[in-house]
Chain A
Amino acid sequence: MPFASWLSKAATILICKSQDHPPARSNPLAPPPARSNPPPGPHPHAAWIEDQLLAFIVSRILQAIPVVLVVGLIAYAMFAFVGDPVTIMLGTDYTEAQRVALVKQLGLDQPFFVQYAKFMWAALHGEFGISYRLARPVTDLLAERMPATLELAATASVFALLVGVPMGVYTGIHRTAASRLFMVFSLVGVSLPTFLIGILLILVFSVWLQVLPSFGRGDVVRFSHWSTGFLTVGGLKALVLPAVTLGLFQMTLIMRLVRSEMLEALRSDYVKFARARGLGPRAINFGHALRNTLVPVVTIAGLQIGGIVAFSIVTETVFQWPGMGLLFVQSVQVADVPVMAAYLVMISVLFVGINLVVDLLYYAVDPRLRVAR
């Protein structure tokens, strides 16, 4: 069950977030004791690799289906047991006949699992019902807000990776005052709650220096189904503080992870052997050591994207960013179940998708996997 076990490894790292030596040995993707793969004779043909890749993807998707089904069950159970949709939709003044008609119309008289199946079927078609709070189709509400959240999350992820990986590599290779400073900085970084980072940034850059906006998306450019803040100066300025807030925690995490993996790789025999062959420092640090840190880094980075989407709830609230996270918080406050359920199902599909991409990246990074399974 590699899917499950790498999750738990990643979770261990998240919990023990400033851990210097993640339990690399328990990494299910780390090479199985190398002897377990006897030479398969001549090198496999490309077609064979493709077949294997397809089988790999299919098995991953099959593993993901129960996850989505269970999440859907939980989402539907909220519908069924939290609040009474009939009273919510009819108000307090209704006749028995009206009630029975509505119950029949909503299918509430059918067995629970039939209703669940219908719910999932509708969800598959992107239908999640009507928001209690805003009296509009949930799908429309989510679709309106999705661009804002995705642009924010993407910017934050890119920021976390582009800053976190180089800083981790630097602190892994060099033992200078700068790298000690980075480490202290990262320790404070993991202890600062996301919303507090946002508040501090607002205080410094919006209140005191007054150089960056503190709420909203600024000017957006609209296409048919998408509104983007990437194309205007105002939109880009509005993106800076939320993206930094959202990415900072993940950045420090990635930096610490890359550093400890680099340290481990630089101690390894194959790096010593590469040195003994007279390879240059660049080939050793980046070609040999960094490449070997990619598998664990990809795992965590994948999980971090999930974390970024979840923490966008907090960031969007701090910056009043009109995305799905803000919508979700507002829905939780008034128990707007259809929106909560839809958000949950969507997030689970998103996470499953991320996990699949992460698995495929392993496949690209680590040749051992291509034969191991």
Chain B
Amino acid sequence: MNTLEKNVASPVTPGEQHFPPFEVSDDIIALADERISHYPESKLSAVLPLIHIVQHKHGFVSKEAITWIAGKLEIEPMKVVSVVTFYPGFRQSAPGKFHYRVCRTLSCAMAGSYELMDQICEITGIDRSKLSHHHPIVVSPCGMYSVEFAECLASCGSAPVCLVNDDFHENIKPENAQDLINKYQP
């Protein structure tokens, strides 16, 4: 795979089983058209909402999705790639069914969020060493769980904190990791 193809590549992960593959359905077109109607001046402004729609429905933003969004907004696909790669909240490969975002900014780091991450990884069987800048998300072999470090989640007083999918959890001590995992069972 050449360097340019990597810009839009979506490496296969075990999490893919939990998300429907990207397709241009009537449903998604209707959602997109509705969002675009919010921006009568320039369709370009709808790029963020459209990426959100795709990621929410399909788990991640694939090459096909990028091409579709660019076509829908009549912009260069590179502009969509720029936005997708800029925000850490957007993913280009599938996470697990339960995606754990552990805060690693100062307060949480001091309160033990790295240890929390280690615990979550150990329980879910995720290879923690695979986490890096270019691979911010690691999925468990079963495809149920995935982890990612997040920057400040704006709740420093209740550190350490983490997000599981869209649910926010405070004061998660590393030793309570198992309880947190137990809350989300397939």
Q: Do A and B come from one complex?
A: no
